[in-house]
Amino acid sequence: MTERPGIGARDSAFGVGCRRPSLIAARDRRHGATRWLLAILAILLSASALAAPHVGVVTMGPGEEYWARFGHDAILIDDRADDPSSEPILYNFGYFDLDEPGFFRHFIEGHANYQLVALPARVDLAQYAQAGRGAVVQWLDLTPAQASKLQTRLQWNARPENARYPYDYFTQDCTTRVRDALDYALDGQLRAQMTTPSHGLTYRSEAVRLGAPEWWLGLSMHFALGPYADRPLSLWDEAFIPSRLHDTLATLHTARGTPLVLGEQPLLPQRLPPAPPDFPAWRVWFVGTGLLIAAMFLLGTHYAPRTTAVFAGVFWLQCGVLGTALIAIWAFTAHVAIYDNENILLTSPLCFALLPGAWAQIRGREAGRWHRRLLMWVAISAGAALFLKFLPFRIQRNGDWIALLLPIHLALAWAGRSRSGNGTIQTPRSACA
C-alpha cells in the first residue's frame, strides 16, 4: 500500500517532473520561431511596399489633326522609390508603323496593327506639349502586389514580339488596352464596376461628337456608321474614349472600399480648344438643305433643264459611289461598325444607271421611259429607309440623312413626271433654238 504512493511519487518526480521542462522549451522555441517568421514577413512586406511602383493613368486632350481629335491616354509607371536613378515610364498603346508593309491596305481592310511602346515619360509627353495638348495623371490606389503585377505585364507586353495588337476603333484601341491592363491588375474589379449602363451614349454619339470640329470627319462617320454603332453602351464599352475612362475611374473604388483614384495631377496645359460636349445639332441643317435642294431641282427642271441635268448627274454619281462603297465595305472588310448600313437605300447603286439619262438631258434629248422608271425605283428605295424607322428592331440613327436625301429623290422622281409623253424635256423655245 505504501509503495503505491512512492511509486506514484517517483513517477511524478522522474516522469512528469522530467518531461515538463522539455515541453516548455519546445513550445518557447516554436513561439520564438513564429515571432521570427512574422518579423521577417513584416520586413519583406515593408520592402515590397517600398519597391512597388506608383501607377497612374495619363489622359491627353484632343489635338488639331483629325486622328488626334479623340484624345489619348497611357499608363505611367514610376518606381523611383525603389530605384532613384530610374525615370517614370509611359506605356503608350497608340503607336503604329507607317512603314509596315501594306499598312494602308490593312487599315482599309480593318486589319491594321497598332503597338505598345514604352518610353520615358518626359520624352513621350514632349510631343503633346509641343502640340499644345494638355495632360493630367490620375494616381491609382493599387496594392503593392497589384502595382507589381501591372508593371510586369506591361514590361512583357512592350517586348517587340508582344507589342502589336489588332486595332479596332471601338473595341481595341489605345484606351481599351489601358482599361484592360488595369482590369487585369485588379483581377476583374474594374469591369465588375463598369458593367452598368452609361448615360445613353453610343459609339455614334461619341465618334461624331469628337469628330465634328473637322466637319468632313464628323459627317463621314455619321454617314458610314451602321446600326452596330447605335446600341446603348455600358461604362465599360464607353471607355474607348480617353476622357470617358478618365471620368469613370474617378468614380470607382478598390476592394477595400477606398476611392481608386488617390488624386489628380496636371502635367501639361491644354492650349487647344476642348472637345465638343454634345452631339452636333445638325438636324435643322439637314432638313433645310434637303428641302432647298429639292425645290431647286423642281424649279430648275422647268427653267434651266440642262443645267439642272448637270447637277442631277453629279448627285446621282455621288450617290452611286457612296452606296457602292458601303456595300464593298460590308462585303470585303472587317469594319463591323459599318455593316448593314441603311444608308445604302438612300444612296442606291442604281443611281449609276441614271447617268445616261442625265447625259441625254444635258444634250437636249429625251431620257427615255426606262429613266423615269429608274427614278421611281430609286425614290422607293429611299422611302424604304424611312419605313425602317417604324420597325422596333431597326436602331440605326440615320434620320439626318433621310431628311437630307429623301426629299431630293422624291423631287427628281416627280420632275420626271413633268416630261412629255414622248420623253422629251419641256423647255422654253429660246432654249431649243
Same domain for 294 and 249, yes or no, is no
Q: What is the mean pLDDT of residues 54-71?
A: 93
Same domain for 367 and 248, yes or no, is no
Model confidence at 15, pLDDT cuts 50, 70, 90, reads: very low
Phi, psi torsion values for 93, nearest 5 degrees: -90, 10
Q: What is the mean pLDDT of residues 26-47?
A: 43
Same domain for 234 and 128, yes or no, is yes
Model confidence at 248, pLDDT cuts 50, 70, 90, reads: very high
Three state DSSP letters for the chain? CCHHHHHHHHHHHHHHHHHHHHHHHHHHHHHHHHHHHHHHHHHHHHHHHHHCCEEEEEEECCCCCHHHCCCEEEEEEECCCCCCCCCCEEEEEEECCCCCCCHHHHHHHCCCEEEEEEEEHHHHHHHHHHHCCCEEEEEECCCHHHHHHHHHHHHHHCCCCCCEEECECCCECHHHHHHHHHHHHCCCHHHHHCCCECCCCCHHHHHHHHHCCCHHHHHHHHHHCCHHHHCCCEHHHHCCCHHHHHHHHCCCECCCCCECEEEEEEEECCCCCCCCCCCCCCHHHHHHHHHHHHHHHHHHHHHCHHHHHHHHHHHHHHHHHHHHHHHHHHHHCCCHHHCCCCHHHHCCHHHHHHHHHHHHHHCCCCCCHHHHHHHHHHHHHHHHHHHHCCCCCCCCCCHHHHHHHHHHHHHHHHHHCCCCCCCCCCCCHHHHC
HSE-up (13 A, CA, CB side) for residue 232: 7
Strand partners, 15: none
Q: Containing domain of residue 352, as a range?
A: 283-432
Whether 176 has a pLDDT exceeding 80, the answer reads: yes
Model confidence at 47, pLDDT cuts 50, 70, 90, reads: very low
- pLDDT given for residue 16 in this prediction: 34
Identify whether 384 is part of a domain. yes
Average pLDDT for the chain: 86
Q: What is the mean pLDDT of residues 340-357?
A: 97
Whether 49 has a pLDDT exceeding 50, the answer reads: no
Tell me how many domains the chain contains: 3
The answer to whether the beta carbons of residues 124 and 95 sit under 8 Å apart is no
Q: What is the mean pLDDT of residues 213-231?
A: 96
Identify whether 11 is part of a domain. yes
**Structure confidence by residue, pLDDT tens digits, 151-171:** 999 999 999 999 999 999 999
Residue whose grid cell is 474589379: 189
**Beta strand pairing call for 261-268 and 135-140:** antiparallel
HSE-up (13 A, CA, CB side) for residue 99: 0
- pLDDT given for residue 34 in this prediction: 46
Same domain for 8 and 43, yes or no, is yes
- pLDDT given for residue 427 in this prediction: 40
- pLDDT given for residue 267 in this prediction: 96
- pLDDT given for residue 419 in this prediction: 55
Identify whether 275 is part of a domain. no
Same domain for 92 and 226, yes or no, is yes
Provide the whole-model pTM: 0.82
- pLDDT given for residue 96 in this prediction: 87
Same domain for 247 and 344, yes or no, is no
Identify whether 309 is part of a domain. yes
Same domain for 62 and 207, yes or no, is yes
Same domain for 129 and 161, yes or no, is yes
- pLDDT given for residue 192 in this prediction: 96
Same domain for 193 and 83, yes or no, is yes
Whether 2 has a pLDDT exceeding 50, the answer reads: no
Model confidence at 97, pLDDT cuts 50, 70, 90, reads: confident
**Structure confidence by residue, pLDDT tens digits, 116-147:** 999 999 999 999 999 999 999 999 999 999 99
Whether 50 has a pLDDT exceeding 70, the answer reads: no
Same domain for 145 and 222, yes or no, is yes
Cα angle 358, 359, 361; round to 5: 65
Identify whether 273 is part of a domain. no
- pLDDT given for residue 32 in this prediction: 52
- pLDDT given for residue 100 in this prediction: 83
Cα(79)–Cα(53) distance, integer angstroms: 4
- pLDDT given for residue 368 in this prediction: 86
Cα(71)–Cα(29) distance, integer angstroms: 62
Identify whether 278 is part of a domain. no
Identify whether 276 is part of a domain. no
Same domain for 105 and 223, yes or no, is yes
Same domain for 350 and 394, yes or no, is yes
By mean pLDDT, which of 196-200, 222-226, 249-253, 371-375 is the weakest?
196-200
**Structure confidence by residue, pLDDT tens digits, 263-322:** 999 999 999 999 999 999 999 999 999 999 999 999 999 899 999 999 999 999 999 999
By mean pLDDT, which of 12-16, 106-110, 152-156, 265-269 is the weakest?
12-16
- pLDDT given for residue 371 in this prediction: 94
Boundary of a domain, candidates 51, 68, 93: 51
Cα(331)–Cα(340) distance, integer angstroms: 10
Boundary of a domain, candidates 34, 51, 68: 51
Dihedral sign for Cα 191, 193, 194, 195, please.
positive
Instruction: Work out the percent of the chain whose per-residue pLDDT is above 70.
Output: 85
- pLDDT given for residue 103 in this prediction: 86
Q: What is the CATH number of the domain that holds 202?
A: 3.90.1720.10
- pLDDT given for residue 35 in this prediction: 52
Identify whether 274 is part of a domain. no
By mean pLDDT, which of 39-43, 101-105, 229-233, 352-356 is the weakest?
39-43
